[in-house]
């Protein structure tokens, strides 16, 4: 999915396993910069119920988004 907005643009690749979203691979860039930021969003399930969402960046930084 390509997104374009006032501040920049991003490309998101949605990855599914057996119909469940398990990962989003994101590349984003601000209009006035050359660098492309990359990170992944992981979806963790327990007994087929969404248990956790975590952003993971290449430098090792992680941020829990849910719960």
Q: Work out the pLDDT band at 24, boundaries 50, 70, 90.
A: very high
pTM (predicted TM-score): 0.90
Closest by alpha carbon to 65, among 56, 54, 57? 54
pLDDT of residue 55: 99
pLDDT in tens, 28-59: 999 999 999 999 999 999 999 999 999 999 99
Sorted by sequence, the CB contacts under 8 Å of residue 19 that are 6+ apart come out as none
């Amino acid at each position: 999915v390509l997104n374009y907005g006032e501040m920049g643009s991003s490309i998101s690749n949605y990855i599914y396993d057996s119909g469940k979203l398990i990962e989003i691979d994101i590349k984003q860039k601000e209009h006035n910069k050359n660098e492309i930021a990359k990170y992944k969003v992981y979806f963790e399930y327990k007994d087929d119920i969404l248990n956790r969402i975590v952003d993971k960046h290449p430098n090792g930084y992680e941020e829990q988004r849910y719960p």
